[in-house]
Chains A and B, each alone.
Chain A
């Protein structure tokens, strides 16, 4: 199959099917409803399950139940809907069930708006629900990358028995771009016989499985949390992904930006270069685990005067950038979060205010 022109939301739905996820539960919300519309037609064609739940709260638990029974499952939503699902996400992480959540972010807080934003960075990377848990979070910057990340998300969710979140902004869901689908994932969910409630007869076992998150004994709960922590540390060792741009140069400024915002920054870097100012960019593709060391090393380069966190949020990504830079260089923030994507010129102005 060659390249096809597809809307991001529809491509995300198709990517799930090609990743062998034939179980999709969702509730409509702008700007991601096209995923549900697409899969409501597509799932019956491939013998899959499509169900529109009564609320995002219920959808979260449909994923928990179905994922707990060993099925490959996904839902998609947008910011306020993810807030409602966050209860289930905490239980799913606690019970160690693989599941994939896609958040096509809109502006907040509250109803906010329906235009693109990156205001759920904290919610996704620091835990939107209660308790000590983390999601593996990937942030696509194009429709092509959204497809690839969705397809990678299922094996990762199964490897770690942990929810994975694809954090895209409204533009990733709404825009059309050429996309080439990778081959179908052939792997079936692995090791599920050891834990999934698939029915004892199904796995030909006399041992029953429990999917639960309650540990009343304090020592048991502490040990459970240590086990979860060890998984998150393993993610930090094995799953960090990022892309660099113009970082071979003697850049005077380093931009850290992700998703749609990073594409604008890329243009700003090109214009600066044409004008004779070198600016480098590091784009985290995984937001958790976060590329702390690569950013710290990039900031240490002798030519680098300052680091800029450019984000469609009011100072969220910048906290992780500061955590990476560890005070070696000044860290500045620039962002907008009303739904307008900042222009290259606005990004350049923010940098020129500091770098002369």
Chain B
């Protein structure tokens, strides 16, 4: 009997620093599998964000750059403009992309920069210790919203995928999740589609991934999956919001 399952070549042997129950590991693996399947590892450059995934380059086996908070799309723009033959992706969290990096992501998407963004939305700042993010749910307690997010004061959570889908420039914009196996399979398909559009030079692509953060949510990994399903998915609806074929 031959080998039926192995680690993608695009993933390293390093143990991750992620907390127990964190979904970054799943998303890293999906990205690595897609890169292997498309055979693009040796011409791929990843951009790590500021946030929990700042050390993402320790877990992949190809070229990487490390961005400042929110600036990954500008760096990806720089690389892709001077080296259109490279495959470039940013891997960003919600504090990074939806707060401090709002300008960079919107303008990169609107210019139709031909790179891919993996946007991990777990409704909280992770690395800095669980502060409120633009994506934090109404009433959700965080270390800077100890009484729950008060939407009267700070507004409703930002739906990044929906917001970007409103731009006219052709793009592939989708929201997926990694909180159940069937969602995970769909997320992988979306990531593969996004990278394929990039390979073809078609358009900018963003895959938002609804994720969990048991540590900063203060609940068990299993409860976190349930909380995400019950609280986040009704607000952050899954689906493809924009495809280049629509345009």
Residues of A within 8 A of B (CB): 23, 25, 49, 51, 53-55, 57-69, 71, 73, 87-88, 91, 95, 197-202, 208-214
| Chain B residues with CB below 8 A from A58, complex form | 71, 74, 77, 103-104, 107
Q: How far is the CA of A197 from the CA of B66 in the complex (A)?
A: 11
Question: Can you name 29 A-B residue pairings with CB atoms under 8 Å?
Answer: A25-B78, A53-B74, A55-B103, A58-B77, A58-B104, A60-B74, A61-B68, A61-B71, A61-B104, A62-B75, A62-B81, A64-B71, A66-B79, A66-B81, A69-B45, A69-B65, A69-B83, A69-B86, A73-B82, A88-B68, A91-B68, A95-B66, A197-B79, A199-B45, A199-B63, A201-B42, A208-B63, A210-B63, A214-B54
- A198 in contact with B78 (CB, 8 Å): no
Chain B residues proximal to chain A, CB less than 8 Å: 41-45, 47-48, 54-55, 57, 61-68, 71, 74-79, 81-83, 85-86, 103-104, 107
- Once the chains bind, are B78 and A66 in contact (CB under 8 Å)? yes
What's the Cα separation between A91 and B83 when bound, in Å?
Answer: 21
How far, in angstroms, from A209 to B61 measured CA to CA in the complex? 9
- CB-defined contacts of B83 to chain A, threshold 8 Å: 69, 71, 198-199
Residues of A with C-beta under 8 A to B86: 69, 198-199, 202
Q: Is the CB of A65 within 8 A of B47?
A: yes
B81 near A88: Cβ-Cβ < 8 Å? no
Chain B neighbourhood of A95, CB < 8 A: 65-66
A49 vs B82: C-alpha distance when bound (angstroms): 7
Using Cβ atoms and an 8 Å threshold, which residues of chain A touch B71?
57-58, 61, 64, 88
- Shortest distance in angstroms between A3's beta carbon and chain B's nearest beta carbon? 33
Assess the A197–B45 pair: CB atoms within 8 A. Answer: yes
Residues of B within 8 A of A63 (CB): 78
Asked if A197 meets B103 with Cβ closer than 8 Å, knowing A53-B74, A71-B83, A212-B57, the reply is: no
Inter-chain contacts of A87 with B (CB < 8 A): 68
B79, B81, B104, B107: which contacts A68 (Cβ < 8 A)? B79
When A49-B81, A69-B83, A198-B83 are in contact, do A62 and B66 touch as well, CB less than 8 Å?
no
Closest chain A residue to B57 by CB distance? A210
A148 to B45 CA separation, bound complex (whole angstroms): 34
Is A64 in contact with B43, judged by CB distance below 8 angstroms?
Answer: no
B43 near A200 with CB under 8 A, answer yes
Residue of A nearest to B60 (CB): A208
| Smallest Cβ-Cβ distance to A25: which chain B residue | B78
Establish whether residues A197 and B65, one from each chain, have CB atoms under 8 Å apart when the complex forms: yes
Specify the chain B residue showing the minimal Cβ separation from A55.
Answer: B103
Q: Contact at B65–A68, with CB atoms within 8 Å?
A: yes
Closest CB in chain B relative to A301 CB, distance in Å: 48
Q: Is there an interface contact between A61 and B67, defined as CB atoms closer than 8 Å?
A: yes
State A60–B65 Cα separation when bound (angstroms): 15
Q: How far is the CA of A214 from the CA of B83 in the complex (A)?
A: 25
Are B74 and A211 in contact, CB atoms less than 8 angstroms apart? no
Residues in B with CB closer than 8 Å to A61 are: 67-68, 71, 74-75, 78, 104
**What is the CA–CA distance of A51 and B61 in the complex, to the nearest angstrom?**
30
Q: Which residues of B contact A25 (CB under 8 A)?
A: 78, 81
Contacts A23-B81, A61-B104, A211-B64 aside, 13 further interface pairs with beta carbons under 8 A come to A49-B82, A57-B71, A61-B67, A61-B71, A64-B65, A69-B65, A69-B83, A197-B63, A197-B64, A197-B65, A199-B45, A200-B62, A210-B63
Residue on B with the closest CB to A51?
B81
Whether A66 pairs with B43 at a CB distance below 8 angstroms is: no
